[in-house]
Structure 1
Amino acid sequence: MTNAILVLFGSFAVMMALGVPIAFAIGIAAAATFLLFMGFDQSMFIVAQQMASGLDSFTLLAIPFFILAGNIMNRGGIAARLIDLAKVLAGRLPGSLAHVNIIANMLFGSISGSAVASAAAVGGVMAPVQKREGYDPAFSTAVNVASCPTGLLIPPSTTLIVYSLITGGTSIGALFLAGYLPGILMGLSLMVVAGIIAKRRGYPVSERPTFVQVRSAVMRAILPLGLIVIIMGGIIGGVFTATEASAIAVVYALFLALVWYREIGIRDLPGILIESAVTTTIVLLMIGCSIAMSRVMAFGDIPSTISGFMLGLSDNPYFIMLAIVAVLLVIGTFMDMTPALLIFTPIFMPVVQNIGIDPVHFGIIMTINLCIGICTPPVGSALFVGCSISGVSIAKVLRPLIPFYLVLVALVMVVTFVPEISLFLPRLILGYGG
C-alpha cells in the first residue's frame, strides 16, 4: 500500500518537475503504479481501457458544448455589452471602473464558463479605459485577475460538471445552484477591497447615468444574460439535462453572434471550432488519464489509506477541514484547476464523507479553493493572461494582489464552515436533502 502511494505520487511529482505535460504525467504515473500489481501488457491494457470507458459518458458531452458556446460569446462582442451594463450598475461607486471590471467578469464569466476567457475579454476592454482615467495599471490588472474566476462558481460551470462526474453523479442542478451565493459573495468581497483602495487613492467616480443610458445598457445586455435564464430555468424545471442545455447554449450563442449582432461571420466559425476542439481535447485527455489514476488509487486502496491517516490525526471535523483547505490552497498554486479536481476529489471524498460533509457543499469548497490557485504564481493561468493583456509584469501585479488574496482566503473559510451559503438555494428551489 505504501509502495503504491510512493510510486504514484513520486513519479507524478518527478514528471511535473521535468515539465512533462500534466495529462501525460497523470497517465504515466497511473501506468507505473499498475506495474506493482500486474505485468506490463495487462497494465497498459487496463490504463487504456479505463481512459476509453471513463470518457464514454453522456454527461461529458456538456464540456465541449459549453466550451464552444463560451468561445462564440467571447468572439461575438458579448463582453462590451456586459461592460456597458456593469457601468450603469457600479458607475457611482468609488473607483467605479474597478467595480465595473469585477461585475463584468462575474457576468461574462458566468456565460463563458472560463476564467481565462473572461480575463482576456473584459481585461482587453477595461485596461486602456482605466489607464486613461488615471488608474494604476498594476492595480487594474490585479482587479481583473482576482475577479475573473468568479464565473467558475456562477453557473453554467464546466468545473462543477467535472466534479459531478468524478463523484459518481452528484446533482448538477444542485451544484449549479450552490455556486450562486459563493460566486456573488466572491465578487462583492473583491468590490469592497477595490472600493477601499480606490477611495484612498482618490480614483474618479463616473457620472450618474441617464435613464436613456440605463435603458440602452439593459437592452443591449438582456439577450446575452438570457442564456443563463434559459440554461438554469431548463435544468431546474426539468425541461432538459445539463448536457442538452449545453447544446442549446451553442445554438443560442450562434444566433446572437452570427445573426442578431453579426459580430462574427461564417468565415470565423472554422477558427472558433478549431480553438474549441483543441481546448476540449486537452480537458478530455486530462479527464481520461485522471480516471485511470482514480482506478489505480481504488485498486491500491489509496483513498481509504489516506482517509484513515487524516481521520487518525484528529476526530475534530473542523481541524480536518482546515487541513484539507490548506492542502487545496497549496495545490492550487502549482496545478491547474481541472487536474487538481480530478486527482484530489477521489482522495478527499472518503474523508469528508466520514465527517458528514455534504458532497454538493464540498464541490463548492474545492472549486472556490482552486479558483485562488489560477490567480497565483507559478502556474496561475488567469494571472499570466491578465498580465499579458494589460502589458504589466507579474512582479508588479503581485503586491496589489495581496489584499485580494487575503479576502479570498477569508471567504474560503466562511464558505467552508457555513454550509448554508452553498446549500441554501439547492434546498429552497430543488428541495435538496443530500
Structure 2
Amino acid sequence: MNAPHARNTNDYDLDAAGSICPEIGVMLYDDANACTSGWASVGGSPAAYVRQHSDLANNVIWITNGSFSQYVTMGLRNVHNIRPLTFFRTQINQIGTDLGYDMSGANAATVAPLISEIATRVFKLASTSYEWKPGELSNADSLYENIKSRFPKDVTLKNPALERALQAAYQTDSALSKADFVPNSVFLTLRINRLTHAQRVLTCPIPDDGWEYIPLQRLPATSKERLAFCLQHDQPILAKVEIDMARADSDYASLAAFGQKASARMALREWVSHPELLWLVRFAPVEIKEVYRSHHYKTLPEKMRMPRQLIEDPLLQLSYSAGLLAENHWMSLACDEYIKLKKQKMLSSRAVWLRAADRALCFTLAKKAVDAGFTVTGFGTGAIRVRVQRSELLKTLEFCIEHSLVCPNMQRLIQEDDLEYAA
C-alpha cells in the first residue's frame, strides 16, 4: 500500500533522520507525584541520576513517568522538551508492565535505558513514515495528535443536529461494573497485536459526508420493519435508538456496556453507527426512532492508511515500538479535533465508524473471554480487561496463546506472588 505521505526507504534509513528525528530520552522520577529527581536515559544509553528537570539536556525530548496532574500543576507542560507519561497513549508505567520490567526504586536505573530505546525506535519509525519538517515531530502533547497533523483537516459538516448525533454515537471504550477487587485476584490487560489490530480497524469502510435526514414519519411503520430497513442498507446509517436492556434475553447484553466508559461520563448515548447497530441488535432490543443516511461507503484515503514502512516487513508484527506507532496512527483518525475558531471539538463520521469497528472487534474477544469463564471488566482500543483469580493465571496464558493475544509478562505473577505487578 503506497501512501503518498510515506517516504521511500531508499531516501534514508532509520539512523539518518538527523534534523527530522530529535534525540529521545526517558526520565523515571523517584516519586511520580513530586516530579523532581530520578533516572534518565537517552536512546538506550546507561541511565544517569538527575536532581531536577532543569538538569536534563535541552536538546533531547524527555518523556517522563510523572503523574499528569503534576505535569500540568507544576508547569511542566510549558517546558519545551518535556512530554507527559501519556505521550505514546500507553503510559510509560504500562510499557514497563507489558514487558515485565520492575520500575520501582533502584530498578529504574536498569529499566530507563530499555524504555528509552523503545521510545527512540518509535520516533525513528515515525520520522520515516510521515512527511515532517524539522521541529514538527514531537511538538504536541501526544504522538497521535502529532500524527493527526500530517493529514488533511476534517471537513466541517455545518449541520449542528448531525454533529450532535455523531457525538451521541461516539464511544471510545466500554467499562463494566465488575471492577471491584476480590481476594487472590489480579487485573490483566489482554491485547490483540497492536499492528494487526490497527490494520483491521483501518479496513473499515467509512461514510461519505453527504447525509440525508429521515424522520420517523418517513420510516417504515412498525418497529421490526424500521430495524430491518436499517440493517439491510448498503449505505451508511446513523440511527437514533431506544434500547431497553431490561428486556434483553441475551446473557451478553450487559457485556455490550452501551454508554458505559472507563473515564469521564460521555454524552447521552441516543444514536448508534451502522457497525455498532449490526452487532448490538444480536444481544439487545433496539427501537429505531430517526435516521441519517449517507450517500455511500468509501475506503480511507490513501494518505490516511497505514504507512508502508509498518506493513511491508512482517517481522515488525513482533516489534513493540511498531505496535505503539500503529496504534497512535489509527487513534489519530478516530479522535475528535479542537477547532480554535469555533472554540469547540469537532467529531468526524470517520472517527465514529473506526471506534465502532474497534469496539466490535473487542466485543468479540470479550465474549470469548466470558465464555471461557473470565470476568471481563472492560474493552476497547484492541484490548480487553479481565479480573482473574491467581489460580487461573496459567489458564489465562493458555487463552492468550489460543487467541493470539499479547498479555503482560506473567512470570513474576506466577512465580513471585506479586499482586502489585498487574494492578
The two structures have a TM-score, normalised by structure 1, of 0.28
- The answer to which structure has the higher strand fraction is 2
- The answer to which structure has the higher helix fraction is 1
* Structure showing greater relative contact order (alpha-carbon pairs closer than 8 Å, 6 or more residues apart): 1
